[in-house]
Structure 1
């Protein structure tokens, strides 16, 4: 790749040998304000079909020689987790379905988070480039034998695997249930856990707030918007077959700020309102992806969806500080294949901007009521690309458990859901001049065509 502003990151394919030594249940270190048999309400934003998953992330750390006199890594993390589970006690419970299929948190005999102690006879330097997610890291994140893909019921809501490497470094493989917290909420929990481990005493700031009842549906429900993001669409193009039947590969690109600015300048809609960097990059990636996949027929209508944090849009009432539940709406826009392939970038950017700006407090309330009336039972993939933005998460800063910022922090593998693209922050980049890591799934045969479209060769 010739561009100095865009660099493809080559993923090292190999097998990591991992031996699991011990599994321990971690209970809150002090009494919590619930007893066996108690339940907690989850909102419809927590219980949307897309939230019924575990979000897997991995964090790599290089231990310094001064750390040799400290307590074992796993013990430090385990003790801190037990302390943090006191204010974050819902994460020590389990999920179950009520009669109408809705989820709730309950507290019974099977409780607590799970910590798995593991080791590997490799060094961190053997894991390849610790800049971009790598599906080969999957053994560093614990899954139960024969675990179903979307199983969340009666599972620990926090599952952590600590893997010690031959060099003395280690990884923390973490699975948090998305029903309990969105990305911002996860950062809040992670930051509290890390600060508690770093200082050796509970550091809980802000104090976590459950308060999911603030998102109860209206009576009767009022659905004011069509909610295209949930629409059931039969796949009428070759897109899904192309992706799911050709074993797509994960491609990652480092996009420097200069290139992001270039795309933003080219993408400005034909009005005075402008656009954000996300609007421009999302539109550009969507167009490049469709071009690379050679989607047919040209008149087929595709969807782009992405999550919008609605916290700052809420006024009636405003959210309390420390709220860590799901406060995201799924924005959605549509365009035909022909418009994406043959149209102009500013036109697509306008669609993205309008979808993002359409998320209001009333849209969020309508989403809650829509899920109440018609609770979707399965994820819809027809003609869709979903972009997930992690660049606003302070994931590297939050994850300093006392051994410095992680060498890498983020997801590992997008290929199980190949219609997802992720925008990630780069760990060592200064926030004011940050590069972005873009990860997307493509058939190997389409990768070069995507790269050419990404580089804007036709626009220079």
Structure 2
């Protein structure tokens, strides 16, 4: 990362404490939905936000302000102050609303915001010091706190807000809803929270017997799932790709004419990176590769039982596209883009989210296939860069690290241009090849439909595919 710091960082943490709701809350048991209650969501999802010093806040301690706001917010989001219990023999998760509270840690760092470099992107510097829980794609979530917060004062009087929340309790939109309410209490907004939280998990809970009305291919394992080119023992590297106005124009110009006007930036970048990543990983031409996308059912799903406003549980489904690696790389970019668009359309059909809830219940939380799968999520519209505790908008707001999913984030390049940041974690040789694939793809000439057919007939394939043959 440009401008990476060289000084020795240190963070001094105080003892952990539990922050309970500011007033008494109901004691009750609350069932999770069948979208929430998936094994793949049993981990603590991180978020981290960096704030500059605000001269108007001189003498005001962000730790005290945020700690008090957490206590007030938990009055309204009181299930977060409880604990998960697991029902036997089904392993169904329920929340016992005990009011015990959430973990809060006060900390002080020896470094300044300027020491962190010019362009923050996952993995952010010192993330292990700025979060009070270790990062992991899995976690034991039963009988443990559901929310962990650390507020770290910086030497420049800025601060860092770090959070871990159990993904079974909330998706990205739900987390932002909670954080928005938290900032309203921190700023003293009258009538906070302005968007009242809604539980109503029964809206996405199965009625027995389950009725599965759609094909949920996103959970089906690919052929030969043990055959993959990635291994946990690989030495991984990171690189953040930036897509500004010129890069988006280049991709849009390569899109099929019938998609060009309406296609989103997320769709363009997602399909492009799937294709480039597949080429960089050098799969065999016949290996089927898959693209998975998070689709927010709040905005895309057509349903007779829509998710109510204020719902902060998981209302996400996965859209899945797949293709043989050789075909994906041989055919024009528009082919990958069309596969993505069609997958999102399937996941947005009437009744899809309810069918998924039924599918999860009927199959007792099926495993999530990972082999040869690229998982992407759009966070550019999530609202994290608007989270203002009273010190102004964050310098960076997003995940602390890169793990299973690749997030599309709001970001800026070193020249200050706004755009989409795509942080990627892959083995170092693959990262180097991916950088070249991205450069090549962004400078590609626009191929007409007739040229594409001619290329296909001539078996024009990438160099890496020829090397496999």
2:105 and 2:132 in contact (8 A); partners too:
no
CA distance in 2, matches of 1:43, 1:96: 14
- Structure 1 residue 93 displacement after superposition: 0.9
Alignment of 1:156-175 (within 5 A): 156-175=145-164
Match of 1:188 among 177, 181, 186: 177
Match of 1:426 among 398, 401, 411: 411
Do the aligned partners of residues 193 and 346 (structure 1) sit closer, same or farther apart at CA in structure 2, a change above 3 Å counting? Answer: same
CA distance in 2, matches of 1:437, 1:362: 33
Alignment of 1:19-98 (within 5 A): 19-32=12-25, 34-35=26-27, 38-70=28-60, 72-98=61-87
- Structure 1 residue 427 displacement after superposition: 6.9
Q: Give SS of 2:285's match.
A: coil
Q: Give SS of 2:80's match.
A: helix
Match of 1:305 among 292, 295, 318: 292
1:251 and 1:441 in contact (8 A); partners too:
yes
* TM-score, length of structure 2 as denominator length: 0.87
2:132 and 2:149 in contact (8 A); partners too:
no
Structure 2 residue aligned with 1:3: none
Alignment of 1:215-226 (within 5 A): 215-226=204-215
- Structure 1 residue 120 displacement after superposition: 1.5
Q: Which runs of 5+ in 2 are unaligned?
A: 446-469
Do the aligned partners of residues 147 and 421 (structure 1) sit closer, same or farther apart at CA in structure 2, a change above 3 Å counting? Answer: closer
Task: Single out whichever of 193-202 and 304-313 deviates more from structure 2.
Answer: 193-202
Match of 1:370 among 336, 359, 383: 359
- Structure 1 residue 13 displacement after superposition: 7.0
- Structure 1 residue 66 displacement after superposition: 3.2
Give RMSD over aligned pairs: 2.5
Q: Give SS of 1:45's match.
A: coil
2:35 and 2:205 in contact (8 A); partners too:
no
Structure 2 residue aligned with 1:438: 422
Structure 1 residue aligned with 2:126: 137
* TM-score, length of structure 1 as denominator length: 0.88
- Structure 1 residue 146 displacement after superposition: 11
Match of 1:12 among 4, 20, 23: 4
The total of aligned residue pairs comes to 437
CA distance in 1, matches of 2:197, 2:139: 27
Structure 1 residue aligned with 2:312: 324
CA distance in 1, matches of 2:342, 2:230: 26
CA distance in 2, matches of 1:192, 1:406: 16
Q: Which runs of 5+ in 1 are unaligned?
A: 1-8
- Structure 1 residue 98 displacement after superposition: 1.1
1:27 and 1:113 in contact (8 A); partners too:
yes
CA distance in 1, matches of 2:364, 2:2: 41
Structure 2 residue aligned with 1:259: 247
Do the aligned partners of residues 270 and 401 (structure 1) sit closer, same or farther apart at CA in structure 2, a change above 3 Å counting? Answer: closer
2:211 and 2:358 in contact (8 A); partners too:
yes
1:395 aligns with 2:384: yes
CA distance in 2, matches of 1:447, 1:40: 45
CA distance in 2, matches of 1:270, 1:407: 38
- Structure 1 residue 426 displacement after superposition: 2.1
